[in-house]
Amino acid sequence: MTALRFLAGVLALGLAAYLVAALLLPERFQ
């Protein structure tokens, strides 16, 4: 089963999206 890898991928994508949002919209993360 690749459930663990799938979960790790979802977490990685979420973290990447959060970092991009923090870089593009810094006024919302202060």
pLDDT tens across 1-30, in order? 699 999 999 999 999 999 999 999 878 766
Token output for 14:
């979420």
Token output for 5:
């890898």
Q: What is the pTM of this model?
A: 0.65
Token output for 26:
């810094």
Quickly count helices (H) and strands (E) in the chain.
Answer: 1, 0
| Integer Cα distance of 25 and 10 in angstroms | 22
**What pLDDT, on a 0 to 100 scale, did the predictor assign at position 6?**
97
